[in-house]
């Protein structure tokens, strides 16, 4: 065994001009994308140095597009690519990283993404984001093209946003949002929480399905969902709810206080924690019973991580230690309203 | 004797049909299978992997492969394509935000050569939820009209929760497959 020199620290070309360094970084990044890097002795140090490199690439691309707005488009796409790289790096390394590194890496990546979004919206305020099918170059053109060609599947579609339906809270910041589903006459519907920042959300009563998308720093209290809950892209939140099924995608640093009939699942999550349901309001017993949720199944702790299909405990989730758990919260006195704090 | 005719012969004897159920996660695939089989749908965990059910349906025996739809495991769908007679694509009609994903995944699937001959049933599920899109709207958003003209397809609104529409959908699918495979009967 020969002593292994620490060859993982970043190359010390600090003296080089910023621009040249930036180009070098980009080149290195693209090389790495083409061929997976050989495994290193210290995965954490290796990750950190690669992460730092990718981060630098993203930052310098962003600052380049700020300093020269005329030539911003390429820089912007370079930044986007670098940020994607960051995300991928973190995802690849998430299993082997200590929690602190993971969290700070995630925070850095999401900050950069926010900065990129800002820069992009400054540059092209008119162009709105839309999903499209990637039009793949036909690798194997059909030998016998049908006489009538169908219209390409990636033609612009009727805007989905335009038909977004009813009930929900969307696009709010620093607000307290309360809805009592028991007082509305509507039949069982779904409810949507989307694009909320620093909000307190109280939903009393029952609903058939709950969709949650893009929440940051929110606290969400939900009575009973006698169907499924789909939670995507949440950060630093707390959820207290009871439901038949719960799927959680892309959650970071978020706590879930659940009562659930089946096993909750997580996918692409990290730093999520679970605890038993802890919510009270006048009539919640009835709501839970009507929804078939009166029984505590203990499934709040039986989490399946689709990114960790092995027998040993997933590093992406854990239980909330008992001494840290929220006390049962009584929201009886919260009245239906929406107001900005 | 070609392979195809051998397969046909075997299938004719057993009157078997192989049905592949796919779709995004949370669309209700497992609930549909259990409901149509008359089983309890009260406690269903998101599918990690797949379930197989053999169901007697009229004079046929349906082998239904219900494949998990979580993003991580969608890449494994292709392991189940072989010899599929009928494809059931399940859509959560209330999940409007992800319909673009849904369309992309479906059109990806339909490019698959091994599924070229399979009849396609699209279930616009969760019609019992207020705010769910109607089957005609789902068909539009999924761009079903743009499919290759040779594909046999049908969209049916349903609710796995109440059971409405499920038999109608499977009736169409089974008859369509039968008319292709058991053409001489």
How far away is chain B from the Cα of A56, in angstroms, using its nearest Cα?
Answer: 30
- In this complex, is the C-beta atom of A211 within 8 Å of any C-beta atom belonging to chain B? yes
Point out the annotated binding site of B.
23-30, 47, 69, 125-128
**Interface A-B: count of C-beta contacts within 8 A:** 113
Predicted local distance difference test score (pLDDT) of residue A54: 83
Chain-centroid distance of CA B4 in Å reads 23
pLDDT tens, residue by residue, A68-126: 766 777 788 888 888 888 888 877 777 777 777 777 777 788 788 888 887 777 765 54
C-alpha distances out from residue A196 to A251, A272, B56, Å: 14, 19, 48
Residue that has been written with the tokens 């809950």 in this structure: A229
Point out the annotated binding site of B for GTP.
23-30, 69, 125-128
Is residue A136 pLDDT above 50, yes or no?
no
**Alpha helix (H) ranges present in chain A?**
18-34, 43-67, 72-93, 99-123, 284-290
Q: Is B2 among the domain residues?
A: no
Short-list A60, A71, A2, CA closest to A29 = A60
pLDDT tens, residue by residue, B42-73: 899 999 999 999 999 888 999 999 999 999 99
Q: For residue A214, name the pLDDT band (cuts at 50, 70, 90).
A: very high
Predicted local distance difference test score (pLDDT) of residue A66: 72
Q: Is B1 among the domain residues?
A: no
Choose the mutation target among A146, A230, A259, A295 for the interface with B, i.e. most B CBs under 10 Å: A230
Predicted local distance difference test score (pLDDT) of residue A158: 42
Average pLDDT of chain A to the nearest whole number: 79
Predicted local distance difference test score (pLDDT) of residue A275: 97
- In this complex, is the C-beta atom of B96 within 8 Å of any C-beta atom belonging to chain A? yes
Whether B140 and A153 lie within 8 Å, measured CB to CB: no
The answer to whether A108 and A116 are in contact (CB under 8 A) is no
Question: For B44, phi and psi rounded to 5 degrees?
Answer: -130, 120
- In this complex, is the C-beta atom of A166 within 8 Å of any C-beta atom belonging to chain B? yes
Q: Is B164 among the domain residues?
A: yes
Predicted local distance difference test score (pLDDT) of residue A186: 61
Q: Is B8 among the domain residues?
A: no
Whether A189 and B141 lie within 8 Å, measured CB to CB: no
| Range A130-138 average pLDDT | 51
Distance, CA of A110 to CA of A105 (rounded, Å): 9
Q: For residue A32, name the pLDDT band (cuts at 50, 70, 90).
A: low
- In this complex, is the C-beta atom of B38 within 8 Å of any C-beta atom belonging to chain A? no
Which domain CATH number covers B39?
3.40.50.300
- In this complex, is the C-beta atom of B70 within 8 Å of any C-beta atom belonging to chain A? yes
Match domain A166-328 to its CATH number in 1.20.20.10, 1.50.40.10, 2.40.10.120, 2.160.20.70: 2.160.20.70
Whether A189 and B133 lie within 8 Å, measured CB to CB: no
**Out of B45, B137, B146, whose CB is closest to A150?**
B146
Q: Which residues of A touch B106 (CB under 8 A)?
A: none
Q: For residue A145, name the pLDDT band (cuts at 50, 70, 90).
A: very low
Whether A186 and B130 lie within 8 Å, measured CB to CB: yes
Boundaries of domain holding B70: 14-180
**Out of A187, A227, A292, whose CB is closest to B130?**
A187
Q: For residue A262, name the pLDDT band (cuts at 50, 70, 90).
A: very high
Q: Is B81 among the domain residues?
A: yes
pLDDT tens, residue by residue, A219-259: 999 999 999 999 999 999 999 999 999 999 999 999 999 99
Short-list A327, A134, A314, A176, CA closest to A240 = A327
**Out of A151, A157, A228, whose CB is closest to B26?**
A228
Using only the alpha carbons of chain A, give its radius of gyration: 24
Whether A245 and B70 lie within 8 Å, measured CB to CB: no
Is residue B185 pLDDT above 80, yes or no?
no
Predicted local distance difference test score (pLDDT) of residue A142: 43
Distance, CA of B120 to CA of B125 (rounded, Å): 15
**Out of A158, A189, A292, whose CB is closest to B129?**
A189
Global pTM reads 0.67
**Alpha helix (H) ranges present in chain B?**
3-14, 29-36, 99-110, 135-141, 166-181
ipTM of the complex: 0.88
Distance, CA of A286 to CA of A223 (rounded, Å): 10
- In this complex, is the C-beta atom of B51 within 8 Å of any C-beta atom belonging to chain A? no
| B70 labelled catalytic | yes
Q: Is B6 among the domain residues?
A: no
Predicted local distance difference test score (pLDDT) of residue B176: 94
**Quick one: tokens of B168?**
């109608």
Is residue A298 pLDDT above 90, yes or no?
yes
Average pLDDT of chain B to the nearest whole number: 91
Q: For residue A16, name the pLDDT band (cuts at 50, 70, 90).
A: low
Whether B44 and A245 lie within 8 Å, measured CB to CB: yes
Domain residue ranges in chain A? 43-121, 166-328
How many domains in chain B? 1
């Amino acid at each position: 065994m020969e002593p292994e020199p620490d060859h993982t620290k970043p190359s010390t070309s600090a003296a080089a001009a910023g621009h040249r360094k930036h180009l070098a970084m980009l080149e290195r990044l693209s090389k790495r994308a083409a061929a997976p890097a050989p495994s290193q002795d210290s995965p954490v140090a290796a990750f950190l140095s690669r992460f730092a490199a990718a981060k630098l690439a993203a930052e310098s691309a962003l600052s380049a597009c700020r300093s020269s707005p005329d030539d911003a488009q390429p820089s912007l796409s370079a930044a986007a690519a670098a940020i994607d790289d960051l995300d991928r790096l973190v995802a690849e390394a998430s299993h082997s990283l200590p929690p602190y590194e993971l969290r700070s890496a995630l925070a850095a990546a999401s900050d950069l993404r926010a900065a990129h979004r800002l820069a992009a919206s400054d540059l092209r305020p008119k162009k709105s984001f839309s999903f499209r099918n990637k039009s793949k170059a036909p690798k194997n053109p059909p030998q016998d093209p049908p006489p009538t060609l169908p219209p390409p599947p990636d033609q612009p579609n009727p805007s989905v946003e335009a038909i977004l339906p009813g009930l929900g809270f969307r696009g709010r910041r620093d607000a307290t949002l309360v809805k009592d589903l028991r007082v509305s006459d509507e039949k069982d519907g779904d409810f949507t929480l989307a694009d909320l920042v620093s909000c307190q959300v109280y939903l009393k009563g029952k609903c058939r399905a709950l969709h949650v998308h893009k929440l940051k720093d929110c606290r969400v209290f939900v009575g009973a969902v006698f169907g499924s809950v789909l939670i995507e892209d949440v950060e630093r939140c707390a959820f207290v709810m009871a439901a038949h099924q719960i799927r959680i995608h892309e959650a970071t640093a978020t706590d879930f206080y659940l009562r659930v009939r089946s096993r909750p699942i997580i996918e692409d999550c990290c730093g999520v924690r679970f605890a038993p349901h802890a919510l009270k309001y006048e009539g919640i017993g009835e709501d839970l019973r009507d929804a078939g949720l009166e029984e505590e199944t203990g499934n709040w702790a039986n989490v399946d991580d689709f990114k960790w299909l092995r027998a040993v405990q997933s590093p992406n989730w854990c239980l909330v230690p008992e001494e840290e758990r929220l006390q049962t919260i009584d929201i009886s006195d919260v009245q239906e309203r929406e107001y900005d704090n | 004797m070609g392979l195809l005719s051998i397969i046909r012969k075997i299938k004719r004897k057993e009157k078997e049909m192989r049905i592949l159920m796919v779709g995004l996660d949370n669309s209700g695939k497992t609930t549909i299978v259990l409901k149509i089989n008359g089983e309890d749908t009260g406690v269903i965990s998101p599918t990690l992997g797949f379930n197989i059910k053999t169901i007697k349906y009229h004079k046929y025996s349906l082998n239904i492969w219900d494949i998990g739809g979580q993003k991580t495991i969608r890449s494994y769908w292709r392991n189940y394509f072989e010899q599929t007679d009928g494809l059931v694509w399940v859509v959560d009609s209330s999940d409007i935000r992800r319909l673009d994903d849904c369309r992309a995944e479906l059109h990806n699937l339909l490019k698959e050569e091994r599924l070229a001959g399979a009849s396609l049933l699209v279930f616009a599920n969760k019609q019992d939820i207020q705010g769910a899109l109607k089957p005609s709207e789902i068909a539009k958003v999924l761009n079903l009209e743009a499919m290759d003209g040779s594909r046999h397809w049908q969209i049916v609104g349903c609710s796995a929760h109440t059971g409405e529409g499920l038999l109608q959908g499977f009736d169409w699918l089974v008859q369509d497959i039968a008319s292709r495979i058991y053409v001489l009967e």
